Amino acid sequence: MAVDTATDLPASAVATRAGFWARMPRGLITVVIAVVALFVVSAILAPSSVTKGPLLGMLPFAAVLAIVALGQTLVIQQGGIDISIMGAISLTAIIATHGPGGDDSKVFPSLLAALAVLIVAGLINGFVVGRIGLNPIIATLGMNALLYAMVLAYSQGIPAMNSGLLEDLAAGLTFGIPNAVYWAILATVIVTVAVKRTVAGRKFEAVGANPTAAWAAGLRVKNQQMSAYVWAMVLYWLGGCLLAGILKQPTAYQGDSYLLPSVAAVVLGGTSLLGGRGFPVATVLGALFLSQLSNFALGLGVSFAVRTLVEALALIIGVGLYTINWKGIRARLSSRPPSGKTVPDH
């Protein structure tokens, strides 16, 4: 049996270990390192940010961000972006609080009504982008305006108290952990299995990676693109429901703060803004990173404006790491002739 002298392991074991790391997405490895490093730095520079109270306060909002970022991941995998995430979350939170009016028996009918509205919105987004071919930013920006019109028409801009049942489902504790975290874990498992372990999921990723090749292979490209916006709306709905339960009185514009962080979490998780393969678990860890980053900045006494700039910087770094073709740039630079010399004319 061949043995690797450097590690005293059989060559087959070394190859297996190397293959395991080769299969690990670069985005997942990077974001795991970033999360661990952030918590270590937080413990050193702002110890209060990693104590029980602040962590229990941060985790529910991290769970909401993780869930809505999973929805944004599906859209970005198809080379799009969903601006209507803001209106979708806000409308869900408003219906979830105004509909029951404090009556627990009306919570689930109200939530189902919000889900129906968002599914219709997702179908419209998918049809306009996938079938008609309108630019995703323009299409979802228009849908966002429509959803906000519904928010203001339904609530008159006046917030309402959430119900006790909704609060227990989202903000209650089970085994000392906020219930929203369990919902986020469930959503992550479902999305990961659906995208990575099913035939439909592999077709979905194939369409996102190369729509032309997928069409030539007989895949229904437009249907896959439409489905991304519908399932994204389902995840926005779940995030909005949890947000309504976490907050006592969600406002009409509660979803505004989730557009930039949702995209940043997706990019930090290694999903390219150009579409293709997505990494749901890495996206969730990216959401945790951004949430703890805000918690850390709060512990340092940094203003909200600076925290927003840090989120934008994280997005820029993520785009630079995973979207820019650094190998191609290095190859072009290395192929340039030395300074002062010219390439012979053949």
Domain regions of the chain by residue span: 26-322
Q: CA of 114: how far to CAs of 68, 84, 224, 236, in Å?
A: 15, 15, 24, 11
Q: What is the pLDDT of residue 155?
A: 86
Which residue, 333, 179, 322, 187, is CA-closest to 246?
Answer: 179
Q: What is the pLDDT of residue 49?
A: 84
User: From CA 77, how far away is CA 14, in angstroms rounded?
Assistant: 33
pTM for the full model?
Answer: 0.84
User: From CA 117, how far away is CA 160, in angstroms rounded?
Assistant: 20
Q: CA of 176: how far to CAs of 53, 58, 171, in Å?
A: 11, 14, 11
Which backbone phi and psi does 106 adopt, to 5 degrees?
-100, 5
Determine whether domain 26-322 maps to CATH 1.10.3470: yes
Q: What is the pLDDT of residue 16?
A: 47
Question: CA Rg, the chain, in Å?
Answer: 23
* Cα–Cα–Cα angle for 163, 169, 171, rounded to 5 degrees: 85
User: From CA 192, how far away is CA 270, in angstroms rounded?
Assistant: 15
For the chain, 346 residues long, the average pLDDT of each consecutive 10-residue run is 52 48 68 89 87 89 95 91 94 90 84 95 93 90 94 85 84 90 95 90 83 81 88 95 89 88 88 81 92 84 73 69 60 61 53
